[in-house]
Chains A and B, each alone.
Chain A
Amino acid sequence: MSVDAGTRSGDVHARQLAGLDALELTTRQRRGLASRTWSGIWPIASAVALVLVAWQLVVLAGWWPEYVFAGPVTTLGVLAERLGEAEFYTAVAVTMRRAVAGFALAIAVGLVAGALVSRIRPLRRAVGSLITGLQTMPSIAWFPLAILLFGLTESAIMFVVVLGAAPSIANGLIAGVDYTPPILLRAGHMLGLRRLRLYRHVILPASLPSFLAGLKQGWAFAWRSLMAGELLVIIANQPSLGEQLHFARELADSPGLLATMIVILVIGIVVDLLFGAADNALRRRWGLHQAAD
């Protein structure tokens, strides 16, 4: 075989490969933004409509007088009124500040605990099931102790929020580390990555999806604990959503109470959607779901 023939056959070979590559590359087109938004919105819209109808029917059935159980029209009227008041936004701001601070603290605690437990074997035997146990503990059961320890302060609320959220976050990280595909560990090992570098470049990124799931669950626990806390721990001059709920019940202000509940529900759903979007973006980047969307 002459050199010339050799290069030519190499060239043909490269072109064959390029041809196969072009044929095998999947061209997946994403649907337009409008169509995706619509497909995301209509199930939510119809669910909301369904709830409003059911609510109105219950009110019409007349099991309770209107001043005890307000109908959707009255409630939404009160809600619309509130949206125009500064006090409402102060309350939301206080609650969200607590939520964000508590959740951030829970992430820090969960990360450290998860990292330690997943790395140190004896610790994991001792603490591993304890973390799952903590997760099943209803957060409201912590409040008597929290109030004893910290009094009626924001620290008491934070204490319970962190205890509620951190176990889920730690568990997410631990599960992610545990289920790092062995083949990637072997590949990392072959590339010369050991110990901390293996942890940083392979194990941590590989556990990201599971960690994100832990964050999402942790948020749900944090939000619940926070609402329980704000109902129980009323701090003067700090209007919050939980406090509004408390006073609405004291004053038998049914539409106000229901309006606050709607706000709490909507905030919970919006944050959950944000986590869902992050999860989707991650999965798309990694090619984890090939479903049409």
Chain B
Amino acid sequence: MTAPLTEQAAGRAEGRGPAVRLEAVSKMYGQGRTGLLALDEVSLDVGAGEFVCLLGASGCGKSTLLSLVAGLDRPTAGRIEADGGRVAMMFQEPALFPWLTVSANIEMALRAKGVTRAERRARAAEFLETVHLGGFGAKRPHELSGGMRQRVALARALAQDADVLLMDEPFGALDAMTRDLLHDELERIWRERNLSVLFVTHNVREAVRLGDRVVLLSSRPGRVVEDFPVTLERPRRTDSAEVAEQAGRITDRLREEVMRHGR
């Protein structure tokens, strides 16, 4: 089941070109000598149907990069192409609207597209089923746990019917057990919906657990240091020896990067 899917993904990648392409993208905050160069000529492709994890220590501009791809911010230099512009994003916080019910939060994604009220309701219920939260539509966000809120946020992102899903440390604030389950959940949804995912994290094991590729960024300024392909068979387990071994190698490389700043 795993191998054909991977080939299929690779096939799509060749056929359609990348879902997201960054060409020599730089981002400068402020100007002149006091300015901060957050990203320095970053080039990166996310193939169609590919799961790419972006890894780096703090200050490497991971979140900046996602904001640029999402169109929330403009690059100082370089080009960004997102396939068809249909990009959804999940943040570290669920970022749900507290004044709306869970269902209405998801419906908000459809409202912007002009879907009728009845259909919005029905589709929201489907998306809640997808994240195993059927029956929670009438609750308010604060009545749910952190993990459940992130699943609502995922459902809301899916409701945008985007091909590209950007995720900014979405599971960073969750406990380990919830996080493991949400990894399984995300992997299933990614496959079922042929999504292209760009996933930012500072957790090396999480990156190896999820990614087809792990892209390591340096800090201040952010540059692509190395691109690690992860070929381990799916589904992987975060606590497996193979994942630990590969994560170890990437961690070593990450530490070298961090040490450069100590001097």
Interface flags for A282-293 (1: CB within 8 Å of B; 0: not) read 000111100000
In the assembled complex, which residues on chain B have CB atoms less than 8 Å from the CB atom of A190? 70, 72, 87-89, 160
Q: Is B29 an interface residue (CB 8 A)?
A: no
- Segment of B50-58, B92-100, B254-262 engaged in the interface with chain A: B92-100
- Please measure, in the bound complex, the distance between the C-alpha atom of A262 and the C-alpha atom of B91, giving whole angstroms: 54
Q: Is A13 an interface residue (CB 8 A)?
A: yes
From known contacts A186-B72, A187-B91, A202-B97, infer whether A287 and B140 are also in contact, taking CB-CB under 8 Å.
yes
Interface flags for A27-46 (1: CB within 8 Å of B; 0: not) read 00000000000000000000
Q: Is B116 an interface residue (CB 8 A)?
A: no
Interface residues on A, range: 20 to 34
For window 1-39 of B, CB contacts with A under 8 Å fall at 1-2
- Please measure, in the bound complex, the distance between the C-alpha atom of A10 and the C-alpha atom of B129, giving whole angstroms: 13
Is B98 a contact of A288 with CB atoms below 8 Å? yes
Q: Is B113 an interface residue (CB 8 A)?
A: yes
In the assembled complex, which residues on chain B have CB atoms less than 8 Å from the CB atom of A197? 112
Is B181 a contact of A17 with CB atoms below 8 Å? yes
* Given A14-B132, A18-B132, A24-B145, 11 other A-B residues pairs in contact with their CB atoms under 8 A: A1-B2, A21-B145, A24-B148, A26-B145, A186-B89, A186-B95, A187-B91, A188-B108, A189-B72, A190-B70, A288-B98
Interface residues on B, range: 35 or more
The dominant DSSP class at the A interface is helix
Interface flags for A123-147 (1: CB within 8 Å of B; 0: not) read 0000000000000000000000000
Q: Is A193 an interface residue (CB 8 A)?
A: yes
Q: How far is the CB of B108 from chain A (nearest CB, A)?
A: 6
Interface flags for B89-133 (1: CB within 8 Å of A; 0: not) read 101010111111000000011011100000000000000000011
- Please measure, in the bound complex, the distance between the C-alpha atom of A201 and the C-alpha atom of B109, giving whole angstroms: 11
Q: Give me 27 A-to-B residue pairs in the complex whose CB atoms sit less than 8 angstroms apart, sorted by A's number.
A: A1-B2, A13-B184, A13-B185, A20-B145, A20-B178, A20-B181, A24-B148, A24-B178, A183-B91, A183-B93, A184-B95, A184-B97, A186-B91, A187-B95, A187-B97, A188-B108, A189-B72, A190-B89, A190-B160, A191-B108, A191-B156, A202-B97, A205-B99, A206-B99, A208-B99, A286-B140, A287-B98
In the assembled complex, which residues on chain A have CB atoms less than 8 Å from the CB atom of B98? 286-288
Q: How far is the CB of A189 from chain B (nearest CB, A)?
A: 6
Q: How far is the CB of A244 from chain B (nearest CB, A)?
A: 43
Interface flags for A61-81 (1: CB within 8 Å of B; 0: not) read 000000000000000000000
User: Interface on A for B, CB 8 Å cutoff?
Assistant: 1, 3, 6, 10, 13-14, 16-18, 20-21, 24-26, 183-184, 186-193, 197, 201-202, 205-206, 208, 285-288
In the assembled complex, which residues on chain A have CB atoms less than 8 Å from the CB atom of B88? 190
- Please measure, in the bound complex, the distance between the C-alpha atom of A6 and the C-alpha atom of B187, giving whole angstroms: 13
In the assembled complex, which residues on chain B have CB atoms less than 8 Å from the CB atom of A287? 98, 140-143
Is A191 a contact of B145 with CB atoms below 8 Å? no
In the assembled complex, which residues on chain B have CB atoms less than 8 Å from the CB atom of A186? 72, 89, 91, 95
Q: How far is the CB of A148 from chain B (nearest CB, A)?
A: 45
Q: Which residue on B lies nearest to A181, using beta carbons?
A: B95
Is A192 a contact of B160 with CB atoms below 8 Å? yes
Q: Which residue on B lies nearest to A186, using beta carbons?
A: B72
In the assembled complex, which residues on chain A have CB atoms less than 8 Å from the CB atom of B241? none
Q: Which residue on A lies nearest to B177, using beta carbons?
A: A20
- Please measure, in the bound complex, the distance between the C-alpha atom of A191 and the C-alpha atom of B104, giving whole angstroms: 13
Q: How far is the CB of A82 from chain B (nearest CB, A)?
A: 44
Is A21 a contact of B188 with CB atoms below 8 Å? no
For window 51-98 of B, CB contacts with A under 8 Å fall at 70, 72, 87-89, 91, 93, 95-98
- Please measure, in the bound complex, the distance between the C-alpha atom of A191 and the C-alpha atom of B87, giving whole angstroms: 9
Is B108 a contact of A1 with CB atoms below 8 Å? no
Q: Is B232 an interface residue (CB 8 A)?
A: no
Is B141 a contact of A205 with CB atoms below 8 Å? no
Q: How far is the CB of A177 from chain B (nearest CB, A)?
A: 15
From known contacts A1-B1, A13-B184, A202-B97, infer whether A20 and B108 are also in contact, taking CB-CB under 8 Å.
no
In the assembled complex, which residues on chain B have CB atoms less than 8 Å from the CB atom of A25? 143-145
In the assembled complex, which residues on chain A have CB atoms less than 8 Å from the CB atom of B95? 183-184, 186-187
In the assembled complex, which residues on chain B have CB atoms less than 8 Å from the CB atom of A24? 145-148, 178
Q: Which residue on B lies nearest to A24, using beta carbons?
A: B145
Is A192 a contact of B147 with CB atoms below 8 Å? no
In the assembled complex, which residues on chain A have CB atoms less than 8 Å from the CB atom of B147? 20-21, 24
- Please measure, in the bound complex, the distance between the C-alpha atom of A285 and the C-alpha atom of B97, giving whole angstroms: 12
- Please measure, in the bound complex, the distance between the C-alpha atom of A191 and the C-alpha atom of B159, giving whole angstroms: 9
In the assembled complex, which residues on chain A have CB atoms less than 8 Å from the CB atom of B132? 14, 17-18
Candidates B93, B111, B177; contact of A201 at CB < 8 Å: B111
Q: How far is the CB of A20 from chain B (nearest CB, A)?
A: 6
